[in-house]
Amino acid sequence: MVKFGIHLFLWTEIFDEAAIPLIRKAKRLGYDGVEIPLRRLDLIDIEKTRRELEGQNMECIGSVGLSLEHDLTSDDEETRRRGIEWMKRCVRITSELGGDLVCGVIYTAWGKITGRWRTEDEWRRSVDALKEICRFARDYDVTLGIEPVNRFETYFLNTASDAVRLARDIGEPNIKVHLDTFHMNIEEKNFYDPIKRAGDLLWHMHCCENDRGIPGTGHVNWDEVFQALSEIGYNRWLVIESFTPEIMEVAASTATWRELAPSTDAIAKDGLEFIRAKAREFLGD
């Protein structure tokens, strides 16, 4: 059975105490879990959050977009070390919250653009760092998901093929691939082939419309997405991820300057209805 999740970036930038009620809200809207932004780790109240997740019978996923000070591809060893330690904290916190997946832009700094293509050295640094993080994460039963994002958000990794290549180079059993239909719409030739190519490595899905508005209202080819998911036997998370101009730092990272739907709740509610219907049609869930 697939599970349905909502990325909390829809309503908040950081997951502090004030954000805990969003778990209840997502539950009320019909979700099985929330994707938690791992940004200000010092503000996450682990005990209270875990209690609320358990009380609401909700699960969580840890979401990372590495900053420049934690860039695993940096030529500065201290920066890479900081990044590795940060990722280890993300793994530990996610596990303490009852989650088993940390995913997103975990391989370089989110938003870093160099004006050139990645180098072999950068690739190797990312591989070495993630190897160490994966080995650490195994003790916590946590899996890491590599999310390729579009060329305006990273120069380093834009396609499913490259995410599979990075995962194979890391070569640890708990490194997997995470795809997002918003980015696929920009970088892939279609929606079917990349999902099939990721195959057994596909561990997480962000189901987003081409403009990050309500899923089902744009031109993402959802039948292709779900046909491929059905053929690979996908049975993990389907998470809706969208942003609004009010959540300012994330809006700046994703260039979200206009409202994409009548309300954030409409994205969560109508989007879930649409994704659920597709899952029922193609996956029998």
Active site residues: 147, 241
- Select the residue whose beta carbon is closest to Mn ion and give its number: 180
Q: How far is CA 59 from CA 23, 202, 229, 237, in A?
A: 9, 19, 22, 11
DSSP conformation letters of the chain: --EEEEEGGGT-SS--GGGTHHHHHHHHTT-SEEEEE-S-GGG--HHHHHHHHHHTT-EEEEEEE--GGG-TT-S-HHHHHHHHHHHHHHHHHHHHTT--EEEEE-SS-TT---SSPPPHHHHHHHHHHHHHHHHHHHTTT-EEEE----TTT-SS--SHHHHHHHHHHH--TTEEEEEEHHHHHHHSS-SHHHHHHHGGGEEEEE---TTSSSTTSSS--HHHHHHHHHHTT--SEEEE----TTSHHHHHHHT--S--SS-HHHHHHHHHHHHHHHHHHHH--
Rule CB under 5 A: choose which of 32, 71, 180, 188 binds Mn ion.
180
CB closer to ligand LER, 52 vs 180: 180
CB of 52 closer than 8 Å to CB of 8? no
- Select the residue whose beta carbon is closest to ligand LER and give its number: 104
The one of ligand LER, Mn ion, none whose footprint includes residue 65, by CB under 5 to 8 A per kind, is ligand LER
CB closer to ligand LER, 32 vs 241: 241
The one of Mn ion, ligand LER, none whose footprint includes residue 187, by CB under 5 to 8 A per kind, is none
How many residues make contact with Mn ion (CB under 5 A)?
Answer: 3
CB closer to ligand LER, 210 vs 284: 210
Residue window 253-282: x/- pattern of binding to Mn ion, with contact defined by CB under 5 A: ------------------------------
Beta bridge partners of 60: 34
How far apart are CB 197 and ligand LER at their closest, in Å?
Answer: 19
- State yes or no: residue 209 binds Mn ion (CB under 5 A): no
- State yes or no: residue 59 binds Mn ion (CB under 5 A): no
How far apart are CB 36 and ligand LER at their closest, in Å?
Answer: 12
Residue window 127-166: x/- pattern of binding to Mn ion, with contact defined by CB under 5 A: ----------------------------------------
- State yes or no: residue 178 binds Mn ion (CB under 5 A): no
The one of Mn ion, ligand LER, none whose footprint includes residue 153, by CB under 5 to 8 A per kind, is ligand LER
Rule CB under 5 A: choose which of 176, 206, 212, 236 binds Mn ion.
206
Angstrom distance (rounded) from CA 271 to CA 264: 10
- Binding residues for ligand LER, rule: CB under 6 A, are 63, 65, 104-105, 147, 149, 153, 180, 206, 241, 254
- State yes or no: residue 92 binds Mn ion (CB under 5 A): no
How far apart are CB 208 and ligand LER at their closest, in Å?
Answer: 7
- Which residues in 215-226 are b (16+ Cβ under 10 Å) and which e? bbbbebebebbb
Residues at the site binding Mn ion, with contacts judged by CB under 5 A: 180, 206, 241
